[in-house]
Structure 1
Amino acid sequence: MGNTVVRSNFEWVYTDQPHSDRRKEILAKYPQIKNLMGPDPHFKWIVSFMVLVQILSCFIVRDLPWKWLLFWSYAFGGVINHSLTLAIHDISHNVAFGNKSARWNRFFGMFANLPIGVPYSTSFKKYHIDHHRYLGGDSLDVDIPTDFEGRFFCTPMRKVLWIVIQPLLYVLRPLYVNPKPITQLEIINALFQFSFDLMIYYLWGLKPVAYLIAGSCLSMGFHPISGHFIAEHYMFLKGYETYSYYGPLNLLTFNVGYHMEHHDFPSIPGSKLPLVRKIAPEYYDTLPYHTSWGRVLWDFIFCKELGPFSRVKRECELAKKD
């Protein structure tokens, strides 16, 4: 590592993202993959159970000392809340009720949002479409860090801070990079969320509300599960902009680790993504992948070649609306 230098800019490419072409090629060879597309009948019940567990947890933690409340927020509630953010990710692709019931998916996303403590679901949907359509697109894909992030968070300690404040950056970055008008559904999402928070506060006091919000912030910051934020698209090997993770934490995260497969087939529920790799192994087994999100965090922090600049960027033409 002694001769390496800190990356000073993004990896600019002048090609289209690879997922569309690979999807066409795989479907031509394995048309049965189309049978995996569509809603997952078990998904909505799993998510509903998780929401109910968090509501029950609010009752249980109402009298805990603050130190134990924060501990359980990080170790238990935060894991569920982070998993719910990934459920919302799947819901944004209409896997709960299908494409023909898009509005039901939007309201179910608001329901899954409740334990997270702050309105998130509708805004995520609005920007996540661009992440798939314009992967790495300059000023379009808000998953890409800003130039300031790349220049400033370039030492191990600063990269640790960058990971800790990831939740804040994911809120602020879209407002700077690609601001969009607030929609009616976002207002409904906020009213629904804050009404729930007030109800929890009225029933059991401040601590359960703090348990929910602290869990969301802590689990999306410096937490083993949050390794997926970096594992998915940060360029650990030159020429590769998307990576899958094949490890046990997929069991807690709706298989978000199967990220190469997800970008190839975003309409396939997370529960069925392992079948994509099983059907078409020659397309995935030869690609680099991660086996540990903890190792991803470690390498990102201490490797001089890795940092917020370790992303592929491209110029994308804004698609015309029908």
Structure 2
Amino acid sequence: MNKFFKDYVYSSTMVSDFVHQYEAAIDARYFKEKEKDVRTKSTRAILKTPLKIEEETALIYTRKSFMIFQDELFDSLRYISRKLSKEGESKKYGVTPYGKDTPIYHVTLESGEDVATCTCHKWEFMGILCKHILCVFGKKGKLDRLPQHYVLERWTINAKSRPIADIPIPEGQVRVGLDELTMRKNKSMIQFYDIVELGSQSQEKHNHLTHALQKVHKELLALEDHVETQETHYSERGETCNDDQILRSQVVSNFSQTVQDPPRVPTKGRPKSLISKNPKETQTTKKRRCSICKNEGHNKNNCPSVREQCGSLRVLKSGSLRDCMP
């Protein structure tokens, strides 16, 4: 997250500017995602092996997900698997690189030999098959296709094309900003779920949660009365006001009242007024004196006494004051 936001937000960014910079960062993220979607759908992937499973996954996965799977498939050709034991319908295999005898990873094939578990747990961690399971599948001759239960929809090209069912809205409720309304509902439901889980742990927590919900309920009802008052005020002035404008004005007012700039922290180190200086630094510098007249403010090159002497000599030689003018 630091690497992503450091191009938009700095330590000196004010709170009011952070909101705009955050929106710019999210827009840049969406734009980059659209660019990669276009690249996935308009170009063909470069294959490294003649296996059919690679050609099939290139048409299913997004380009980045396919490159991860392709590296695992290519590396699986450098490993050897051998059967170690059999317990009922499950079989255990040891997977080792070429040139080594001791198995590094163990792969277990369950019944039907389409469900495999590896000790590296890459599938459980990332949702993409590891090189060790692909090595065992290659020995069993199952690299013609990728089993359907090993294809996660989130890594596929059509992950965002699945239709989302609309959430029914009760009668009498204004249908404004369905996407925003759904997003707010989902976010609140996730927060309420965590709060209810904590509140149900003991009777004391449950009573505290009930009291807090009652307080919030009263505040929300009072907020509705405030919204109606604003609507009446706009109607008296002859202006139109929708829910988005009212919500935006409330957010701005609450933002300006509650969120302020952080307090200014003095810089690190000792203040300049308290720094102890060397006695040589505090000594006053001596002014330079003229070596001829011993006065301050000039030197012998522009000494006025020398100029007067030069002028008088010129007058004596020329006999005219005009000749000694500079």
Specify the structure having the higher radius of gyration (Cα): 2
- Which structure has the higher relative contact order (CA within 8 Å, separation 6+)? 1
Q: Which has the higher helix share?
A: 1
Q: Which has the higher strand share?
A: 2
TM-score grouping bracket, smaller chain normalisation: under 0.3
TM-score w.r.t. the length of structure 1 is 0.21
TM-score w.r.t. the length of structure 2 is 0.21
